[in-house]
Amino acid sequence: MPANDSARDPDDLDALRAASDILGIDALLTAEERAVRDRVRAFVDAEIRPHIADWFDRAVFPADLVPELGRLGVLGMTIEGHGCPGASAVDYGLAALENSPIRHAANLESVRTYEGTDEVHTLLLGQHLTGIAGFR
């Protein structure tokens, strides 16, 4: 493969990622924001990317991933309180870009917090934010 085609090699994730940052967004991120992105990226590369085609072919979603997503901090990521990180919109966007194959699992909990009191949120959210009660 010619040198200028390295970004087209599906096995060269670093080259693909560098080539896709056409606006130079990475240079605008703080060290903390890059750390969030890199943490989610490492998880996706190790735990999701190797299996995603098989899961798709079998039409399954491995429920055991949900608690891991909770530990990673991407469930209820922008919610403040209730054991959630209260992450910024930038952190959320970076995590969403990295975990796009399964992003729907991380988005479910924010819907439950639009209305109600703190007590209602605690009752409704409960263990869902950690992923312990996910997909039961």
What is d(CA 5, CA 60) in angstroms, rounded to the nearest whole number?
34
pLDDT (0 to 100) of residue 136: 46
pLDDT at res. 120:
65
Alpha helices by DSSP H, listed for 22-88, are 31-43, 52-58, 65-72
Walk along the chain (136 residues) and give the pLDDT tens digit of each residue. 444 554 456 667 777 777 778 888 889 999 999 999 999 999 999 999 899 889 888 888 888 888 898 888 888 888 887 777 889 999 998 998 888 766 555 554 454 555 667 776 666 665 555 555 544 4
Residue 18 half-sphere exposure, CB side, CA atoms within 13 Å? 10
DSSP element (H, E) containing 84 = strand 84-85
Q: What Cα–Cα distance (Å) separates residue 95 from each residue in 1, 36, 47, 72?
A: 32, 7, 15, 10
Structural domains in the chain? 30-130 (1.10.540.10)
Q: What is the pTM of this model?
A: 0.66
